[in-house]
Amino acid sequence: MEIAQPRDLERYLSLAKRRHGELCRQKRIFNARNRIIGGDTDAWDAQVRDQKIKEATEKARHETFAAEMRQNDKITCILEGRERRDRKSLCKAINDFQQTFQKPETRREFDLSDPLALRKDLPARQSDDDIRNTVSGMQKFMGEDLNFYERKKFQEEQNREWSSQQQRERESARAHQRCAEDLYFKTRLQFDETAKHLQSLESATRKAVCAAVKEFNRNQATESVERKTREKKQEQEDDLAEISNLLRGDLLSENPQQAASSFGPHRVVPDRWKGMTREQLEQIRLVQKQQIQEKLRLREEEWQRDRDWDRQRVQRARSTLLVERQQKRQQWDLRRALDCANLSLAKEQRSRKKYMEEVCTNQPTEGYFTQFNTGSR
């Protein structure tokens, strides 16, 4: 005894669905009452409706993608302009700092390359405040200078000023970092609002398309019912009129005067005359044979036409499948390009944040060491 597995059940279900679909298709195709010149008009109408719905959906989706791309381009331009302005202000601040606090005269090795060194040269010692009195010169010893207290007070004031300046620069760096974080959060919120708006637009477009399709199908069904009712009523009226004409006509009543011709007594009406000669019968048989041959020829032409229609239908289905594949490939390429653009924007944002953090971290330290070296001299 075999046990049915879920995989077997799924396979049997898919085969049953395919069988049912094939039977429905055969009923539509081989129904001589609904078939027109070998084609399935209902299937064609359904394909046309599906194609219109698909085109409307694709158009709305492309418009949504275009709006999103335009919004992203605008945001990118704004961020690039802001980054250029920040970079320009940073370079200007660095140049101002170098021009103010990093002059060539304040460097330690300026004495080695000073072109006016000989003119500025002084005697060995002029006073206690002479900066040329080094330890190796033995011109001034510790505790023997006259301005010891003023120098110590000045150094304390200078250290206090440096500390306050470092604190102000640290507070400024923190404020800039907070501004950058606020800007980042605002940008993220704006992106979320834009995505939410685009999603609402897409859902509204989809609802509008579904409503239009539903209304179109309802109108088509109403028109089909009305047309069938009118055709049935007209057919009944034609049948009643034909029956009435046959009952009251001369054909069924066998009126002998019906064969009389209006062109003379020696002529008769063939379709009303009861008796015929052998030659007339032979002529009728010949005409019947010609009609049979004509019918066979028409049947052969209809069969050839059906083959042409089937070939065209297969070619059209194949071309439709190729177009759908190409559209899916284009959608995939567009989605991948959009992901790459978002990834590049994220990388630029991270690099910019890292660069700002490095600048805010390194700039105060360099200023501190420069001022400390200058004060020590």
| pLDDT tens, per residue, the chain with 377 residues | 456 677 778 888 888 888 888 888 877 777 666 655 555 677 778 888 989 999 999 999 999 999 999 999 999 999 999 999 999 999 999 988 888 887 777 777 787 777 777 777 766 667 666 777 776 767 766 666 667 778 788 888 999 999 999 999 999 899 988 898 888 888 888 888 888 888 888 888 888 888 888 888 888 888 889 989 999 999 998 888 888 877 776 666 666 667 677 677 667 777 766 666 677 788 889 999 999 999 999 999 999 988 888 888 888 888 888 888 888 898 898 888 888 988 898 888 888 888 888 888 876 544 444 443 444 44
Helical segments of the chain, H only: 6-29, 41-101, 117-120, 148-248, 250-253, 278-376
Res 362: pLDDT: 74
Whole-angstrom distance, CA of residue 114 vs CA of residue 110: 6
Amino acid identity of residue 306, one-letter, is: D
Whole-angstrom distance, CA of residue 12 vs CA of residue 8: 6
Q: What's the pTM?
A: 0.23
Whole-angstrom distance, CA of residue 306 vs CA of residue 299: 10
Amino acid identity of residue 206, one-letter, is: R
Q: Is 126 helix (H, G, I), strand (E, B) or coil?
A: coil
Res 108: pLDDT: 78
Res 125: pLDDT: 67
Torsion, Cα of 75, 76, 81, 87 (10° steps): 130
